[in-house]
Structures are given as C-alpha cells and as structure tokens.
Amino acid sequence: MADELQETGSKKKLIIIIVAVVVLLIGGGAAAWFMMGDDTPETVEATSTPAKAAKTEPAYYVTLPQPFIFNVTGDKRDRLVQVKVQLMVRGDDNESTAKQHVPLIESTLLQTFGAATVEELRTPNGRVELREKALQSVQGALQKVSGRQVIERVLFTGFVMQ
C-alpha cells in the first residue's frame, strides 16, 4: 500500500514537472519570436504627397496667452464661459507663423465663440462642433494672411460654463 502511494505521488510530481517544462518551452519560444521579429522599417513610397510630408513634421503646441471669457445667450439666462485654447501646428515655420499672428487668431476665435449658444455648449457634441468651427475660421483667417494652412487642430484645454 505504501509503495502504491509513493508511486502515485512520484507520478504526479513527474507530470507536474513535464507540464512545467512544456509551459516554459512554449513561453521561451514565444518570447524569442517576439524579440527576433522583423525590425526593418516599412519603405516609404517615393511618390509621397506633400500632405504626408507635412504629417511627418513634429507637432508643436502654441498656447494662447489668455483664456477666452465671453457671454453666451440661453433660453432662461445668459451664461459666462471661459475657454483655454492651444493650437496644434506642424513644423517650425507654422509655429512661428501662428505665434506671429496671435492677435488675429484671438480675434477670430472670439468672434466664433461669441456666436455660440448655451444649448450648443451644454452637450459634448456641441463643444466638438464649436471646436471644428473655430478650426475652420482660424484656418481661413491664416490662409488669407500667410497663404497656407498653418493650424492643424484647435484644442480646448479648459472649459468652464457658469
């Protein structure tokens, strides 16, 4: 009886050891496969468009010096809104152009924000639409001055409505 218990215990140990070795071998093989994967970068087509070239330039963020504070009309009462804005641009040239034309950008954004209503700003979709309108108006204003699209995105880094 003792021999059978000892034999059963050693068989269990042997099975556990075999399973552990198999798991380690599979894990080691998977790790080696991931580590030795193909590290070569994909080739870029020679016929890349200027838009693709612009996307490869580093992104810079131009912080507008003052938050925008404006009144919006509502159905029951007017509200006061404060928005902090940053502009995402690509490349050094666009960054310097945006910084040079900050007064034009602020004026354009203030006109766009002033046209908003409380009902629009209460919903997340309304704020997204306002951000898109702001982007289009700023791009249009800078297009007239610089002759190119300078701003890639308008970002709201702070939004308070009272």
**105 within 8 A of 141, measured Cβ to Cβ:** yes
Residue 117: name the closest of 109, 127, 108, 107 by CA: 127
Is 44 inside a domain boundary? no
Query: Same domain for 82 and 106?
Result: yes
Question: Do both 25 and 72 map to the same domain?
Answer: no
SS3 36: coil
Model pTM above 0.85: no
Q: Is pLDDT at 159 greater than 80 in this prediction?
A: yes
Same domain, 25 and 99: no
Please return the burial class of 48, using the count of CB atoms within 10 Å of its CB with bins 0-12, 13-18 and 19+. Answer: exposed
Asked whether residue 77 falls in the same domain as residue 138, the answer is: yes
In DSSP terms, 73 is beta-bridged to 117
One domain, residues 82 and 10: no
Judge whether 135 lies within some domain. yes
* Residue 6, domain extent: 1-38
Contact present, 73 and 114 (Cβ < 8 Å): no
Record the tokens describing residue 116, joined without a space: 């908003």
Could you tell me if 17 and 81 lie in one domain?
no
Give yes or no: residues 61 and 33 share one domain: no
Q: Would you state the pLDDT for residue 131? A: 92
pLDDT band at 2 (very low <50, low <70, confident <90, very high): low
Q: Is residue 43 part of a domain?
A: no
Structurally, the chain folds into a number of domains equal to 2
Q: What is the CATH number of the domain that holds 61?
A: 3.30.479
Q: Where are the alpha helices (DSSP H) in 64-146?
A: 92-100, 102-114, 118-122, 124-146
Residue range 37-54, pLDDT digits in tens: 655 444 444 444 445 544
- State CA 99 to chain mean position distance: 22
> 91-142, pLDDT tens digit by residue?
889 888 989 999 999 999 999 988 888 888 888 888 899 999 999 999 999 9
Q: Identify the pLDDT of residue 37.
A: 61
Same domain as 85, residue 151: yes
15-24, 60-69, 79-88, 92-101: segment of lowest average pLDDT: 15-24
Examine the domain organization and report whether 89 and 30 are in the same domain. Answer: no
Q: Which amino acid type is present at position 78?
A: D
**Of 74, 156, 71, 160, nearest to 118 (Cα)?**
74
Amino acid 44: pLDDT: 44
